[in-house]
Amino acid sequence: MTTTEAHARKYKIKGAKRRVASRRLGIGTNDSVKIVRLVRAGFPFKKLAGFQKATQLPWAEISRFVAIPQRTLTRRQSEGKLQPDESDRVWRASAIFDQAVDLFEGDVAAARKWIQTRQSGLGGETPLDFAATDVGAREVENLIGRLEHGVFA
């Protein structure tokens, strides 16, 4: 049991869990050290392709979500590998999508629709666009957390 899980159990915090592994990227470890090493090495392009397939988001939206221009994605596809900063953004997008799926109790289609829909809690922007920066991604995560706890304002 992780420290976060133990704290959640001790204080009976609903929904508090460690969210590290990314189901949509096919990276099945919760070891932060391993994840950082994978990001630093640069993900194989096939991880991003698997994310696109799992989310069913169009490539143009994937490009916006991970803040990588489509021409660069095409180049990375032929190279077979993402750069570390790109891998970090892919990890972030995947983690947010996983959280949205959790919010909708496993319904990937509902999560996809929500992430593409303008949200008043994000100043009228879509979570997909808002999460293209680190600051925006944190705010999307905060919004998901508030929604999980029934705080809609």
Interval 105-144: pLDDT, tens: 999 999 999 999 999 999 999 999 999 999 999 999 999 9
Mean pLDDT of the chain, nearest integer: 86
The residue that leads in pLDDT, 29 or 126, is 126
User: CA-CA distance, 9 to 41, in Å (whole number)?
Assistant: 35
Whether 13 shows a pLDDT value over 70: the answer reads no
pLDDT of residue 26: 80
| 150 or 98, which is more confident | 98
**What share of the chain has pLDDT > 70, as a percent?**
84
Both structure tokens of 33: 């050290």
> Tens digit of pLDDT for each residue in 56-88?
999 999 999 999 999 999 999 999 999 999 999
pTM above threshold 0.95: no
| 121/136 Cα distance (integer angstroms) | 12
Per-residue pLDDT at 17: 43
Locate the domains of the chain by residue range. Answer: 24-148
pLDDT at 21 over 70: no
What is the distance, to the nearest Å, from the Cα of residue 107 to the centroid of all Cα atoms in its chain? 15
What is the pLDDT at residue 32? 85
Coil, strand, or helix at residue 101? helix
Closest CA to 85 of 147, 42, 38: 42
Joined tokens for residue 6: 């133990």
pLDDT tens, 1-11? 444 444 334 43
Measured between alpha carbons, how far is 8 from 45 in angstroms, rounded to an integer?
36
CA separation for the pair 8, 138 (Å, rounded): 20
